Structure formats: structure tokens, C-alpha cells
Amino acid sequence: MLTPTNVAWLVLGLTGVGVYLTMRAFNKKNPAPYPPGPLGWPLIGNIQAIPHIKPWFTFTEWGKKYGDIAHVEILGQHIMVVNSTRTAIEMLDKKSNVYSDRPVLPMAGELCGWKHALALLPYGDRFRQYRKNLHHIIGSRAALKIYHPIEEIETRRFLKRVFTKPDQLREHIRQTAGAIILRIAYGYEVKENNDPFIDLADRAVHQFSLSSTLGAFMVDDMPFLANVPEWFPGASFKRKAREWCETLNEMASAPYEFVKDQMAAGIAPNSFTSELLKGRILSAEEDHIVKWSALSLYSGGADTSVSSIYSIFLAMTLFPDVQKKAQDEIDAVVGSDRLPSFADRDSLPYLEALVKEVQRWNVVSAAGFSHRVTEDNIYNGFMLNDPLTYPNPSQFSPERFLANDGKKPETDPYTICFGFGRRICPGLHLADASVWLSAAMSLAVFDISKVVENGVEITPEIDPSSGTISHPKPFKCSIKPRSAKAVALIQQDVDY
């Protein structure tokens, strides 16, 4: 089970400056020692200590043993694992000018091509332009209001799909997330079944999660391996990278060309991409920025919210008392004659706390994304310290985020789970809105409970997947309408 400690983990990969730091150690006395960490071997360092599967569990143990910052070294590259939210904020937020770069990831970035997307883009002018484009469209709750009708319509369609085929919950969540993000990014309305752009995003984002996992590919530790031919023994990663690169390039190009064709025909609806292309003759660099800014929005929105919404259904299956409190609040504020909307959000504090608790309890990116420093920095006596924990972390308790009996709410997980500083997720408001609306509408009309098979109640297992983006393990649950009025709400016609 994930704990709040996992939320605070950030892997600060100093890949690319490691050799420089090592050379300094030979030529100049280090101004401060490295933090403690597991002992390594001569030359290869801690190459065997880096976990490939669910690394956050190992990082948690390192935190207990070594403190807020643990240090490992792999072939001269120094990696710091931060196990303190306060420390992460003080470094990544307050000194974001130093900590906002990304390490070079030979597999995911160079060979598979994700270095062109915002997630792995180096800090610099192109990075700032991507973020400027995204901030203009989805950078605030106010900016997102124009897309509220899209989210509400697609979420209502989600209710219909779940009502019709409740055993295909995860597929319905993915369909809805894809429909929302494709409409916003490209003005594209998805097909009801087997939509090619949703299938494409599913494959590409899964491949990104695999290719960017810490320690998954030896080429990330020994970059020279990127130059070996595909036929070379042990170079199967090269063939895999070529296939994954083709998937990514198709994901970037196909919907982008769709928008251009629609604009040429004069039938393109407003979207993130059409707004950036409208009335402009683009240089090659400008075309690249628009295309990959859109890809960054598309890829970022196609998978992360899927994990969070699936986690909501898991939590409601496991914690019926929490579900009942949320439903009672919705019934009191909204009633049973309509579905909740964004206009109700400020009047539903318990539901707001529930969504925050889901983000804390089952973290989408448990190990975080690597950051790279652009210059040496000494923090509390180390080269780069105060664990922030939640009481009873294994307990699912939305109440921890409510002010009760003079007690202050615990730390908002949104200050952690969406990243830090200049690398904070630009789509956090969109993800937050999608997850909140799914929770509100679903709980308004559905009762979610454990499945009973052959007289035996099946309790889902809490076992998140490994990878950069983590999903709950597939589980069974019973999803039934709460009443005849709920059925009527679900079956109402919806359209753009």
C-alpha cells in the first residue's frame, strides 16, 4: 500500500553532470559531503541497488535508514532521492532556477523521442514556449471554464457507458479521458468504439511509462550502448525503441494533421491547436513547438486522470462509509433531480476532501520525475532534510483535509502530487476538474460496492502497477444505479 511518504518522493537524477561532479572530486575538495546512502562497488557504484520494479518501496526504506536525502552513484553519476516534502519545496520551488532541468534519458528521451515532449524537454527557451502555450489554454480554473461543457457532456456519456456495461469500467474511464483531451487539444470528437486516437495514446503513454522507469534499461546507465546496432547481442532494446518511437511520432503527427486538414476545409472547431495555428505562417521551429505542445497536452491528459478516477472507484469499493458521506452531501446540496456540475463545487467540501484523499492515497506518479541541477547547490550541508507525514497514512480519511473542532486541515496533497517549481504539471487544473466531476456525477447516481461471487464477498487488492505512471491493479466491483431517478438522469440525451 502506498503511504504519504511515497507522495513526497522525488528522484533528482543528476544524470549528465555526474561525470563533471566526479572529476571535481579528484581536482578540488568538495565543499560539502554527499548525503548518506547504500554502499556501492568501486567503479560501478550502486548500479545493483537501483530498483526496477516499484522503486518507491525501496526509496521509502532508504528514507527510514538514511534520512531526508539519500545518495547513490552509478558509473560516476550522482543521484539524490528526496524523502521530504519540505525539502523538495525548498529546493524545487524556491530554487527552481537551479532544479528545473531534466536529465538526458537515453531510452525514453533520445531513442524513443520523448525528449521533444514537455515531460522530458530540457529547460530552456523551447520549454518556456511550450508552457506559455499550455498556460494560456489550461493554466487556471478560470481559463478552463470554456471547456466545462465538454467535460460535463463527456462525463455524462461515461455514466451511460458504465450503466450499460459496468464490467468494463477501466475502458470507459480511458474512453472518457481521451474524449475530453482530444476535444480540447484538437477539436476531435472520438468514435464510440475503438477510436484510433485513443488506442494510439494508450499504446504510446504505456510505452513512455515503461521506457522512462528508473533503472529499466541499461542504456540509461551506459549511454554509449545507444550506438550499438540492433542486431548486436543484447540490443533488443534498440528494436523496441524504434517501434516505440514510431508510435510516438504517429501520436504527434496524426491528430495535428487532422486539425490542419479541418482548417484548410474551413470546418475546424476551436481547439488548443487550431488557436495556435490560426492566421499564422509558421517557421519550422514554430511548427515543431505547436505540434509537440499539443502532443504534450494530449499525452498528459490521456492517462494520468485515468489512474485517479479508477482509484476513486477502488476507494469507494473499499470504504463504503466514505461513499455514504459523500452521497449524503451531494443529496443535500444538489438533490436527486439533476446531476452535479462545476457550479456546485464550492458547496461540496466533503467531496472536495475525498478527491484530495484519493490523490494522496494512491499516487499516480509515486516515484516522481527526475530533475537535474544546472549548477552545484549545497542544501543543509549536502550537495544539493524534515519528513512530512500524515497521521495514520494507510487509513483512507477525507476528514484529514477538513477543518474540524479547531483542527487545521493536513497538508494539501495537490502541493505535492503535481510536481514542483517550474516543472509543476501544466495540466493540473484540467486533471483536477476531470477527476472531481467524475467523482461527483458517479456518486450522485451509482452505488459502488464489493462483488459477491458464489456467496463470497471479493475484496479488491491494493497493488499499484510499476512504471512512471502507476495504475491500481484491475479489480472487480459492483456498480448499480441508486434509484429510478438516477436511471433517468443517466439516460438523458446529451450532445455538443
CA distance 359 to 366: 10
Contact 356, 411 (CB under 8 A): no
Q: Is 425 annotated as a binding residue?
A: yes
Please identify which residue in the block is written with the cell numbers 456546485.
344
Sorted by sequence, the CB contacts under 8 Å of residue 52 that are 6+ apart come out as 213, 214, 215, 216, 466
CA distance 15 to 79: 7
CA distance 355 to 101: 30
**Buried-state track 188-204, b at ≥16 Cβ within 10 A, e below 16:** bebeeeebebbebbbbb
Binding residues for heme: 425
Binding residues: 425
